[in-house]
Every structure is written in structure tokens, then in C-alpha cells.
Amino acid sequence: MEKKKKIYNVGDEIPKSLLLPLGLQHTFAMFGASVLVPILFGIDPGIVLLMNGIGTLLFIFVTKAKAPAYLGSSFAFLAPGLAIIKSQGFEYAQGAFVVVGLLGCLLAYIIYKFGTDWIDIVLPPAAMGAVVALIGFELASNTISGGAIGANIMTDTVSSTDWLVFLVTLMTAILGSIMFKGFFSTIPILIAIIVGYIVAYFSGQVDLTPVREANFFTLPHFQMAKFSSEAIFAMLPVLLVITSEHISHQVVTSNIVGNDLLKDPGLHRSIFADNFSTALSGLIGGVPTTTYGENIGVMAITGVYSVKVIGVAAVISILMAFIGPLSALISTIPGNVIGGVTFLLYGMIGSSGIRLLVDQKVDYSKSDNLILTSVVFIAGLSGLSIKFGSIQLQGMVLSSVVAIILSLLIYIIKKAGLSNLE
């Protein structure tokens, strides 16, 4: 009989020799996407790495070390944030981040008082599974296109070397996840990145100049938030988006670790920690944070769910904010290496959504379930974009809003006795 790969559960003790490589694996997984947000906002990535690490440690503390999650930079705030920066400056975008985060903390209190039964109404399994799947499917294009975190293998200038690095990284991740045993079975993503990096280095795709020129000690750029009603109102709709995203992430993580995190430690704890981290980060110069799909994918592939490992990754992120050569070294990882591993990671997230639909035994002979999943998928994958002022809804963001509205409509129709299923 084939021996199952050993799994380290959420609270398990991890051998000290494994903590650093396992933590680095999570750091590499989140790095590309997390530093892309401050680059787009035109701010210091160091303050973001610092607040990502602090936010993750805060999340672990608030959730009583029961919910493994890494908090990276949120993309949900990009469109309104860029609009606010253009008209008023980043300090006022920070103020809007703070207010949305505090309102999210208020929502956490409401959830604490009234429970989570409403989730099955606003996001029933037929909608939730589709939204979770879209977290991975929407990110799929980033694996082969798109600047800092893509492999750029779809451009006209792509070379055979670009393909080689991408495919070597991807195949190392795939074969390692299937074939590695013992110690190596827990770090297939880290090994894939190292192998891809070595191939890229000897192919002339790695420039170590930033590492040589980096100051050993750097200080992140802190600045206090400023507040304006215009910026705050422009940012408010994002609260709906990040709430549905957070719930989706907690649901898929629950499926992976085999424990309902919405009940233990509770959605109120995780959503409070997530939003308080956003408020704290925005207050002193960072960007909003969110639980990261890349790190969820790492857990799904490796079978290592330990919160201690996530904590080590958080400490590494904090150190990177102050140690220049460390962050510079990771920033030299070529896009086609990151693309190779995310090609697998994002697919695992999408598959987790499909798994949720299967595990919940969603009955597609019922027209309401069929319609919910179908419309949510098409809303997220069709390229449809709806704009309200400075708020642009598209992709998973749009599908989350559509899922909630359509689910509520179907619930009302059923309650009114107007459904043909009654």
C-alpha cells in the first residue's frame, strides 16, 4: 500500500530544521504579488513588507493560532486607491484604507453578536464554490503575462530560454509534489523556485547588481494618514468585496485543513484581524492587507498547515523590510520563475472551489443552483466591467457582488413562495 505523505496540521510541532525552509517557501510565494501593489501605488515596498509581517503575526494572535493565513497586499483597493492618489495624494488613500478597515472591524462585532447563519443566504454553496474557484482562475493570466509577477511567455519577444526557465520551474513543482519524499516532500515549491533560479542565472536572466548595491540596513518610509470624505466614500464599496473575498478564503482554507474556521476560531476573529491589519497598515504608510491565495495554494500542495511556519514567514518579511540585500535578492527572481510556480498554485486554488461544490453535494438538477454557479462564473471570466465613479467592478470582485445580489434575490423569491421549485 502506498504510504501517505505526512501532514503537519495547524497546531503541530514542526522540527526546527524545517521551520526556515518552510517559512521561506511561503515568503517566495507571496513576494511577487505583495510588492507589486506598492510599486503600482508608487510607495516604498519596505513599509508594505513590514506591515504584511506584523499583520500576519497579529492575525495569528487574534485567531488563537487556529487559522493559518498569510496577510499580503490587497489588490481589491487598487482601482479606487489609484484614483484617490491621482486627485488627492497617497496620504488620503491611506485615510480611506483606515476607515474601511475600521468598518470591517465593526462588521466583525456584528458577526460576533449575530452569528454566521446569514452566509448560507448571501453565499450558498453553489455561489461560494464558484467564487472560490474564481480566486484562482482570475489570477491564471498573471502566470504568463503581466510585468513583475508574470512569466511574459505570451509576448512577441519571448525566447526559448524564457520557455525553458518557465517549464523547468513548473515541472519541478509538479514532479516534486508527486515524487519527493521525506524532508523534500514539504518544500516542493521552494525547491522549484531554487531550481528555476539556478537555470535563469546560468541563462543570463539574473542581475545581482541590486544585491551588491543595497545598503545592509534600510528603514521603511513611514507617513501618517490624512482623511477626506471624498476619498472615504470612493473607497467604501470595497468593504463588500473584501468581505466576500475573506469569507471565500476562509472557506477554502477550511476545506484544506479539515476544520471549519468560520466556527473555530470564528469568522468574527479572522475578519477582525484582517481588517484591523488593514487599518493599522494604512495609518502609518502601508497598503491594505488580505489573506493570500498564493499561500493557501502552498498549503494545499505541501500538506503543511502549521501556523508556526506562517509565523516564520511573517518574521522573514519583517526582516526584509530592514535588511536591504535580503529583499534585493528575492526581488531578482525572474518573472518566469514566479510564473512557473504560480501556474500550479493558482490552479490549486481554482480546484479547491470545485472541490467545495463536490463536498457540499450541490444539486445541479435544481435550476437555482445551476443558475447561481453559471452566472457567477461568467460574471468573473467574461471580461465584463462595471464602473461606479472611481469604483470598477470586474473579475472576482464583480462575481462576488453578483453572487451576493443573485443569492439574496433567489432567497427572497423562495421565501415569497414564488419559486417553481417549491
The pLDDT tens digits of the residues spanning 345-386 come to 778 778 878 888 888 889 998 889 999 999 999 998 888 888
Q: Which of 5-9, 200-204, 396-400 has the highest mean pLDDT?
A: 200-204
Report d(CA 70, CA 73) in Å as an integer: 10
Q: Does position 147 have pLDDT exceeding 50, yes or no?
A: no
- CA angle, residues 40, 162, 349, in degrees to nearest 5: 60
- Residue 175: the pLDDT is 93
Q: In which band, very low, low, confident or very high, does the pLDDT at 393 lie, cut at 50, 70 and 90?
A: confident
- Residue 5: the pLDDT is 55
- Residue 270: the pLDDT is 97
Q: Which residue has the cell 450558498?
A: 124
The domain tally of the chain equals: 1
Least confident residue range of 308-317, 367-376, 395-404: 395-404
Closest C-alpha to 250, from 57, 63, 102, 386: 63
138-146 CB contacts, 8 Å cutoff, 24+ apart: 138/380, 138/381, 138/395, 138/396, 139/293, 139/342, 139/346, 139/349, 140/346, 140/347, 140/350, 142/33, 142/339, 142/342, 142/346, 143/339, 143/340, 143/342, 143/343, 143/346, 144/339, 144/343
Report d(CA 221, CA 284) in Å as an integer: 9
The contacts of residue 258 (CB under 8 Å, 6+ apart) are none
Range of the domain at 330: 16-116+152-336
Task: Give a yes or no: residue 401 inside a domain.
Answer: no
Closest C-alpha to 324, from 232, 224, 239, 217: 217
Burial of 80 (0-12, 13-18, 19+ CB in 10 A): buried
Q: Does position 4 have pLDDT exceeding 70, yes or no?
A: no
Which three three-digit cell numbers place residue 15?
522540527
DSSP string, 375-407: HHHHHHHS--EEEETTEEEEHHHHHHHHHHHHH
Closest C-alpha to 239, from 112, 117, 106, 103: 103
- Residue 106: the pLDDT is 96
Task: Give a yes or no: residue 230 inside a domain.
Answer: yes
Q: Is the Cα dihedral 137, 143, 147, 148 positive or negative?
A: positive
Closest C-alpha to 282, from 106, 108, 107, 95: 95
Region 132-159: mean pLDDT is 59
Q: In which band, very low, low, confident or very high, does the pLDDT at 79 lie, cut at 50, 70 and 90?
A: confident
- Residue 6: the pLDDT is 55
Ramachandran region, residue 69 (left: φ > 0; alpha: ψ -120 to 50; beta: rest): beta
CA distances from 68 to 25, 191, 284 (A): 14, 22, 26
Least confident residue range of 2-6, 224-228, 418-422: 2-6
Task: Give a yes or no: residue 124 inside a domain.
Answer: no
Q: In which band, very low, low, confident or very high, does the pLDDT at 150 lie, cut at 50, 70 and 90?
A: very low
48: amino acid identity, one letter: V
CB 262 within 8 A of CB 134: no
Q: In which band, very low, low, confident or very high, does the pLDDT at 264 lie, cut at 50, 70 and 90?
A: very high
Predicted model pTM: 0.80
Closest C-alpha to 309, from 7, 24, 5: 24
Q: Please tell me which residue, 202 or 78, carries the higher pLDDT value.
A: 202
Task: Give a yes or no: residue 403 inside a domain.
Answer: no
421: amino acid identity, one letter: L
- Residue 140: the pLDDT is 73
* Residue count (the chain): 422
Least confident residue range of 175-189, 217-231, 281-295: 175-189
Region 156-169: mean pLDDT is 81
Task: Give a yes or no: residue 129 inside a domain.
Answer: no
Task: Give a yes or no: residue 270 inside a domain.
Answer: yes
Q: Does position 146 have pLDDT exceeding 80, yes or no?
A: no
Report d(CA 284, CA 87) in Å as an integer: 20
Task: Give a yes or no: residue 330 inside a domain.
Answer: yes
Q: Does position 151 have pLDDT exceeding 50, yes or no?
A: no
Q: In which band, very low, low, confident or very high, does the pLDDT at 237 lie, cut at 50, 70 and 90?
A: confident
Which three three-digit cell numbers place residue 50?
513590514
Q: Does position 99 have pLDDT exceeding 90, yes or no?
A: yes
Task: Give a yes or no: residue 130 inside a domain.
Answer: no
